Every structure is written in C-alpha cells, then in structure tokens.
Structure 1
C-alpha cells in the first residue's frame, strides 16, 4: 500500500504526527469518529484511504494489519496497531490531553464515558437497522427485512430517548464543549441522514438542535 496523505483540521494549530499511519474509510461511521475527533483536537496524522468498493480492506496485506478487516486502524510510530475507533480516540486523548475532550474531573470523565458507551451501543444497533433498511450492505445482510428493521428501530429509539433526556439544554451531549461522546454519536446520525437520506431521530427536538449545531462545525464536513 502506498500511503496517501490527508490533512484535516478545525483550526490552524496542527500537531503533525508524521511517523504514524491511520487507515480509514472516509464515509464510514466508525472511521469518522476518529477523523472528527482529530479535527476537533487539531491533530494531523498521515492517512491511507482504503478502497472499500474494491475490497482493499479484505486483502491479505491489510488483514495483516487488522485481522478483522475493518477500519479504522492506527499504526503508531513504534509499529503498534490499534484497531478500534474508541481505543484510537482515547490513545490520542492520552497523548494530547489539552484541550480536553473527556473532562477534567473524575465525575466529568465518568459522565462523558457513559455517554460515549451509550453511543457505541447506538452505533451497533443502528448499523443492524441500516443493514435491513437499505440494500447497501449485501455482504452484511443479503436479504434485508423490513419487519426486522422495524423491530430493530425500537431498540435504536430506546437509546435515542435516553440521549434526548441526557442532553437537556446543553449545546453538546455532555455540556457546553464538544467531547468524545459527540464524536461517537454524531457520525451515525450523519450516516443515516446524509449518506442514506433516512429519517433518524427526527422526533427528538433536542437531538435535532444538537445535530444542526455540530453539523456546522468544520470537523463534521464530509
């Protein structure tokens, strides 16, 4: 694989990490969790865009990096491979704790992590719903079922209702500044609403306001 570099930052203060490589699929929900976070933090990491359409993520070369054949994967400067979006985000948060995106006290960090874990569950349930709502994932679900999708959305809606209550009058999910919780939850909204033009969480006014607020940030650009 020949690396292709990609620069993405929400401000002019970049911290460039030239000896790492982030393997991504730009439109993917989980990879976007990392790219949005890096943009918010102003961290510039060399990127390699996997050709999902031609199954580059399933080639022996990539499977040696990530045996699950999924994105994202981060190869650090010492050759360590980190393969899950949440782990990659927390790795960078430990490297660059300022400005914080996880909170400054044990209580704040616990609150942010709770919302981020909720976001993980939301993504898992929502992806199963998407596999059965669209025909875009034939390798995941060759025979989409509307009945199954309707049942799944009830479980999606259960978590959306919790987030609607949790956000209250805050600008962001955990308060007045963006956190890793926003970076986790926003991409599944964007995937459903923009990539697939589906109604998703439309009847939750607080989440709709939060989505429009975060969508206006440079980090949220496709």
Structure 2
C-alpha cells in the first residue's frame, strides 16, 4: 500500500511534508483534516492522542506521529537522495541540525500566539500578554535562524531538502500572526521566496485550500479521515 500522510489545515506545519513527498516522487496518498473541526472530535485521539498533525500511516500500516519521526521515515526511504544526503556526510549533519532547531525552538516560539488566537474564552489582558511575549520570542528565533543559514538558494544545498520542508510549513506563520516584515531577515526572506515559487510547495498550498491541483503524479489521491480511523485508529 502507499503511505498516507494526514495533514492539517488551515496553515498546518504539515504542509511542508506534503511538499517533501512531492519532491521524493514516490507514490503516496493524503488525508486532509480540519484542525479547528475534525481534529477536535474525540475520535481523532484514536489516531493521535496528542490531537496534532502530521500523522503518517506507513506502507506497512503502522501509525507514526511527530514531524521528526516522519522525516526520519522519509530519509530512510530516500535511496536516490532527492530530499536528503548521504548518511554521516556534512550536509546530512547540517540538515539534521537545522531540522531540529526549526522543529523545536523556532516552531515553539509561535505557541503563545496560537494560544492567544484560539482561546476558547477570550481574555483580552491575557491575550495581550501572550501576544507581546510570543512576538518577542518569534523575532528572537528568526534572528537566530538568520545567523545559522548561509547564502545558498536553500538551507543546505542547491536543492530543497527535508530541512526546507520542515521550515516552509512554519515560516508562513510570521505573516499569519503579522509579527514583522519578512525583509527584516534578508536570507530567510530570499529562502522563503524560493520555496514559495517551488511547484511542490504551491501544490501543497493549493491542496490546503481545498483545490485539486495537478502535482507530480506521485500523489494517488485523498483518503477520508473516517476511513483511516476505522482501519487504523486504535
């Protein structure tokens, strides 16, 4: 069977993994999940008790959660090194370093902003505090990432890798939360523009919006969440 990636909308970090599957060019399927609706139904906990995306149903029918774990699954199957690098190489080490930073401190910096935005019982004073703190954290993490990246077109090499996939799903949150102008970070801004222009990223974004774009042909269609829960929800 083809692996099935469960990705979330709107503005899910999992969008980058859809692009990664496109770059890999191996057959896969998708499941599009409304993170503000379907994902909050108690039944979703049968798939991921932490109520998050992404989730991967592997080609063996195993359920795998967490971005880094799914990234490792992809890396192990990238025999042609389309989105990764030779094991133990300098490029592989750098890719892992960047992925780890982006998936931890960089992504977590946005948590106060999401909390303020999605608060079930709005509290203006708390929301203001969360927003102020969140913006300062996001700016600081962007400063650090700007220092870490080089002058290349992508994070590691002259082609996009898993590190770019992990970044692009989260980088657009800067605009979602109107934190600061991208141009404040020239290297990141240029990288973001390169990724936005990429066909696989555009494909992933259009799927998020509910459109039916023509991708590389690797995607073999969508599977309904109900069907996945029935078959793989423990």
Q: Is TM-score (shorter-chain normalized) higher than 0.5? A: yes
Matches within 5 A, 1:30-109: 30-53=13-36, 55-104=37-86, 106=88, 107-109=90-92
TM score, norm. by length of structure 2: 0.74
The Cα RMSD (Å) is 2.3
Count how many residue pairs are aligned between Structure 1 and Structure 2: 199
Q: C-alpha displacement at 1:200, in angstroms? A: 5.0
Verify: 1:25 aligned to 2:8, yes or no. Answer: yes
TM score, norm. by length of structure 1: 0.78
Counterpart CA distance in 1 for 2:69 and 2:27 is 18
Verify: 1:116 aligned to 2:99, yes or no. Answer: yes
Counterpart CA distance in 1 for 2:59 and 2:23 is 22
Counterpart CA distance in 2 for 1:60 and 1:169 is 46
Q: C-alpha displacement at 1:126, in angstroms? A: 1.7
Structure 2, unaligned runs of 5 or more: 206-234
Matches within 5 A, 1:182-201: 182-193=164-175, 195=176, 199-201=180-182
Counterpart CA distance in 1 for 2:21 and 2:32 is 16
Counterpart CA distance in 1 for 2:56 and 2:14 is 11
What does the per-residue CA deviation read over 1:12-67, in whole Å, with 9 as the maximum and x for residues that have no partner?
Answer: xxxxxx443222214343211311211222233222222334x3223343211211
User: Which residue in 2 is equivalent to 1:163?
Assistant: 145
Relative contact order higher in (CA < 8 Å, ≥ 6 apart): 2
Counterpart CA distance in 1 for 2:138 and 2:177 is 17
